[in-house]
Amino acid sequence: MVKTNDPDKNQFFLTVTGKVSLVAKITPATLSLSGKPGDTLEGVVSITPAQDYPFSITSLTQKFSSQIKAELIRPADGSGDWKVRVTAVSKKADDLYDIITLKTDSPFKPVLKIRVYAIYFDSQVNQS
């Protein structure tokens, strides 16, 4: 609803329509890993720029967990797919979380974010 100072039409509903274009496909959008304490968990996220919106990734940063490590892999020759290899390590039962931020040279999508969860389940089973 839009409110105006026009006494004849002081409020009205505004509808905006348009085509939304995908700038990048991120697969998976959220990376979930799980295993037992002591396991090294690994996963890969693919980032594919849309054909109409090519871009390069200029940097990768992480926000929280030092137990989750992310590595940016540049596209191989002829491929437009960027990859982020993620590894996690914990010697105990734990829930780890981090946000990976990718900066791009795209004016349409200057920042991409990937959420990572790594869950280490206790290897002992409770028997009651």
**86-96: pLDDT as tens digits:** 999 999 999 99
Please classify residue 80 by burial: count the beta carbons closer than 10 Å to its beta carbon, then call 0-12 exposed, 13-18 middle and 19+ buried: middle
Per the structure, the complete domain to which residue 98 belongs is given by 22-120
Residue 3 lies in a domain: no
Average pLDDT of span 21-37:
95
Domain CATH code at residue 109: 2.60.40.10
Identify which has the larger pLDDT, 12 or 104.
104
Distance, CA of 23 to CA of 110 (rounded, Å)? 10
pLDDT digits (tens, 9 = 90+) for 71-91: 999 998 767 899 999 999 999
Predicted local distance difference test score (pLDDT) of residue 77: 77
Residue 10 lies in a domain: no
CA-to-CA separations, 47 to 1, 3, 39, 54, in angstroms, rounded: 37, 41, 26, 11
Distance, CA of 35 to CA of 12 (rounded, Å)? 55
Residue 43 lies in a domain: yes
Question: What is the token pair recorded at 67?
Answer: 């137990």
The count of domains in the chain is 1
Residue 2 lies in a domain: no
